[in-house]
């Protein structure tokens, strides 16, 4: 009561975690006779607690899956049908409209599994050197028991055992011949010094190739390599190994630059990135998160040119600078906002294509932590992938694969879009299913691009496969020592990944190419040293080459 005027009390604010405060607030409302507001506040509190508990349960489920769950995203057909039935039952209990999934009533037959190869030992490769060990018949059995004459050899029964000798270090001693005229005692001449891969260095090409392959393909940190060399009787400091890695990267730079140019020239280019910890004295934590970007160029639908690039942060400026010369073609990528920004600033000839694996993954994650409705999306996306499997089984070229997609994919996409549009307004955006729906909705136009382009894969999985060695490597060597070190890693990864796609054994390639690059002059044609060209030149000479694993 103020100046004879009665004022309506204002609703108080309170902290839901303060039980005493909540009780006092509700009691005050009850004293004022505002019973409906008491009920409304209680309902709001319950909804808030339920939402908070649901979010925490989803977070815990994600963490548990990350720690203990399986990494594969495969879901069996039977398990998927069970999820669909549970989702339909829950929908009926909530009196919501049944989801448009005809297969629930009459599930389509599960495709027959592929025939597995019979168990058995594979033949050992012909290119491996063989050492013949002849096993003799014992002396008492070498004479004929009937006539007493010596038996003669009529052939051999052979079997093979794969064996191993530990790799060994050895020293190449170069003796430079010196000539002189003995009568004149003058005119001394000496042979030219041996050409070395590293000027003044003691490492040969084979050793440098071994170090690069061990670190970037076999994921061995340099300190472990140093320990291995110590066991073999020679001490090589980690700092020395690091300087050799820098020299290898410097030598491979011209090849890596050409590979990157080849990737950028491809009409279809896939892109993705992964984090890399890098030591940084300017950072308060002493370490920062850089990023390695992977670009994969496709030639006639086949992954051919992988290119790696490093940036010290996750800003769009890095990929934008790399892609600056790319004015047209297709760029397949995920939902990273930087790609969308690059696409908007690029000419209309540059098309952004989405990745169905990224979209599917989000629905699988939602499904595995309890969102049964996600099973519908997983099943429909699986139909899209069965179309791709059919194209592979029939060995279709790009044009035929495009035709097959345009015939079979649109009905599935229409059904998925209808389900998405119906579901998106009924799902909490922050929930795992809501986030999966939001990603699908935002990427919908980009996800349709692959249907009309037979050269474009349905997803970016091949690009992610190129990221895997980086992920495995950083588990072992944990971080890069500097931005320059990360850039060197990107250079070496570029060359080694290209070797793998070309079917070139990486040690043999580096052992042969590093000495040639050491005496390469600026302006020389480096294209003959690209892994594909190198392999073709070796094959032309009849040399048998082991392919990269």
Tell me the DSSP string of 140-184: GGSB-TTT-PBP--------------------------EEEETTT
**pTM score over 0.85:** no
Predicted local confidence at residue 165, as pLDDT: 80
Q: Give the model confidence (pLDDT) of 356-404 as tens digits.
A: 999 999 999 888 887 888 899 999 999 999 999 999 999 999 999 999 9
Predicted local confidence at residue 406, as pLDDT: 97
Write out the DSSP string of 514-528. Answer: HHHHHTPPTTS-GGG
Predicted local confidence at residue 495, as pLDDT: 97
Distance CA 221, CA 238 (A): 10
- Do residues 448 and 421 share a domain? yes
Q: Which of 459, 488, 505 is the last residue of a domain?
A: 459
- Do residues 308 and 341 share a domain? yes
Q: Give the model confidence (pLDDT) of 76-106 as tens digits.
A: 565 556 556 555 655 555 444 434 444 444 4
Predicted local confidence at residue 100, as pLDDT: 40
- Do residues 485 and 453 share a domain? no
Choice among 404-408, 478-482, 503-507 with the minimum mean pLDDT = 478-482
Please check whether residue 68 lies inside any domain of the structure: no
- Rounded to the nearest 5°, which phi and psi values hold at 277? -70, 135
Q: What is the DSSP letter of 189?
A: E
- Do residues 276 and 361 share a domain? no
Assess contact for 350 and 327: CB atoms under 8 A: yes
Distance CA 128, CA 518 (A): 30
Q: Give the model confidence (pLDDT) of 166-223 as tens digits.
A: 778 889 888 999 998 888 878 889 998 888 899 888 899 999 999 999 999 999 999 9
Count other Cβ atoms within 10 Å, centred on residue 225: 18
Q: Give the model confidence (pLDDT) of 471-488 as tens digits.
A: 888 888 878 889 999 999
Q: What average pLDDT does the structure give for the chain? A: 84
Strands 302-311 and 329-332 come out as unpaired
- Do residues 472 and 325 share a domain? yes
- Do residues 515 and 545 share a domain? yes
Q: Which of 459, 494, 520 is the last residue of a domain?
A: 459
Please check whether residue 523 lies inside any domain of the structure: yes
- Do residues 448 and 308 share a domain? no
What would the mean pLDDT of 402-431 be, rounded to a whole number? 93
Please check whether residue 164 lies inside any domain of the structure: no
Question: Does 112 have pLDDT greater than 80?
Answer: no
- Do residues 408 and 512 share a domain? no
Please check whether residue 395 lies inside any domain of the structure: yes
What would the mean pLDDT of 16-22 be, rounded to a whole number? 66
Q: Which structural domain range is residue 225 located in? A: 205-354+462-549
Distance CA 373, CA 22 (A): 36
Assess contact for 24 and 13: CB atoms under 8 A: no
pLDDT > 90 in the chain, percent: 50
Please check whether residue 363 lies inside any domain of the structure: yes
Distance CA 122, CA 503 (A): 20
Please check whether residue 174 lies inside any domain of the structure: no
Distance CA 379, CA 381 (A): 6
Task: Give the dihedral sign, CA 391/395/401/403.
Answer: negative
What would the mean pLDDT of 501-525 be, rounded to a whole number? 92
Count other Cβ atoms within 10 Å, centred on residue 413: 17
Distance CA 196, CA 205 (A): 8
- Do residues 440 and 479 share a domain? no
Q: Which of 459, 485, 501 is the last residue of a domain?
A: 459
Predicted local confidence at residue 102, as pLDDT: 41
Task: Give the dihedral sign, CA 44/45/47/52.
Answer: positive
Predicted local confidence at residue 289, as pLDDT: 93
Write the CB contacts of 87 (distance below 8 Å, at least 6 apart in sequence): 99, 372, 373, 375, 376
Distance CA 451, CA 252 (A): 38
- Do residues 430 and 350 share a domain? no
Predicted local confidence at residue 417, as pLDDT: 96
Q: Give me the number of domains the chain comprises.
A: 2
Please check whether residue 189 lies inside any domain of the structure: no
Question: Does 35 have pLDDT greater than 80?
Answer: no
Choice among 70-74, 181-185, 241-245 with the minimum mean pLDDT = 70-74
- Do residues 218 and 360 share a domain? no
What would the mean pLDDT of 109-126 be, rounded to a whole number? 63
Predicted local confidence at residue 9, as pLDDT: 43
- Do residues 315 and 393 share a domain? no
Of residues 169 and 459, more confidence is placed in: 459
- Rounded to the nearest 5°, which phi and psi values hold at 197? -65, -40
Question: Does 75 have pLDDT greater than 60?
Answer: yes
Of residues 145 and 246, more confidence is placed in: 246
Please check whether residue 98 lies inside any domain of the structure: no
């Amino acid at each position: 009561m103020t100046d004879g005027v009665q004022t309506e009390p204002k609703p108080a604010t309170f902290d839901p975690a303060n039980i005493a405060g909540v009780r006092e607030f509700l009691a005050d409302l009850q004293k004022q006779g505002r019973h409906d507001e008491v009920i409304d506040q209680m309902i709001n509190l319950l909804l808030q607690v339920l939402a908070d508990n649901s979010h925490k349960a989803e977070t815990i489920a994600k963490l548990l899956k990350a720690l203990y769950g399986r990494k594969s995203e495969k879901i069996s057909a039977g398990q998927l049908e069970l999820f669909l039935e549970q989702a339909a039952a829950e929908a009926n209990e909530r009196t919501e409209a049944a989801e448009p999934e005809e297969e629930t009533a009459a599930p389509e037959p599960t495709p027959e599994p592929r025939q597995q190869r019979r168990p058995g030992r594979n033949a050992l490769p012909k290119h491996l050197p063989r050492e013949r060990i002849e096993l003799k018949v014992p002396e008492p059995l070498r004479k004929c028991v009937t006539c007493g004459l010596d038996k003669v050899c009529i052939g051999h029964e052979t079997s093979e055992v794969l064996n191993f000798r530990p790799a060994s270090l050895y020293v190449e001693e170069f003796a430079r011949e010196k000539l002189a005229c003995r009568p004149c005692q003058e005119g001394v001449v000496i042979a030219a010094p041996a050409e070395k891969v590293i000027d003044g260095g003691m490492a040969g090409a084979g050793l440098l190739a071994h170090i690069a392959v061990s670190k970037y393909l076999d994921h061995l940190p340099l300190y472990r390599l140093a320990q291995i060399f110590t066991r073999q009787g020679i001490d090589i400091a980690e700092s020395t190994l690091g300087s050799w890695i820098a020299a290898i990267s410097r030598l491979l730079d011209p090849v890596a630059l050409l590979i990157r140019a080849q990737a950028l020239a491809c009409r279809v280019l896939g892109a993705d990135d992964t984090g890399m910890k890098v030591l940084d004295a300017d950072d308060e934590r002493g370490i920062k998160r850089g990023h390695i970007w992977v670009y994969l160029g496709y030639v006639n639908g086949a992954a051919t040119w992988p290119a790696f690039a490093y940036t010290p942060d996750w800003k769009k400026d890095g990929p934008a600078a790399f892609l600056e010369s790319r004015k047209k073609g297709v760029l397949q990528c995920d939902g990273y906002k930087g790609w969308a920004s690059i696409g908007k600033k690029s000419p209309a000839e540059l098309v952004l294509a989405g990745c169905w694996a990224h979209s599917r993954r989000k629905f699988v994650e939602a499904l595995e932590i309890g969102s049964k409705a996600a099973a519908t999306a997983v099943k429909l996306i699986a139909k899209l992938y069965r179309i791709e499997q059919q194209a592979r089984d029939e060995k279709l070229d790009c044009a035929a694969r495009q035709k097959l997609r345009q015939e079979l994919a649109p009905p599935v996409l229409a059904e998925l879009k209808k389900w998405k549009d119906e579901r998106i307004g009924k799902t909490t955006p922050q929930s795992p299913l809501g986030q999966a729906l939001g990603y699908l909705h935002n990427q919908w136009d980009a996800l349709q691009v692959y249907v009309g382009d037979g050269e474009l894969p349905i997803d970016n999985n091949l690009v992610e496969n190129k990221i895997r060695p980086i992920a495995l490597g950083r588990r072992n060597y944990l971080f890069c020592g500097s931005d320059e070190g990360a850039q060197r890693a990107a250079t070496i990864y570029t060359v080694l990944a290209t070797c793998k796609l070309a079917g070139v054994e990486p040690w043999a390639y580096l052992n042969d190419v590093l000495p040639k690059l050491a005496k390469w002059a600026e302006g020389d044609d480096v294209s003959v040293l690209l892994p594909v060209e190198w392999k073709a030149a070796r094959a032309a000479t009849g040399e048998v080459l082991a392919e990269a694993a």
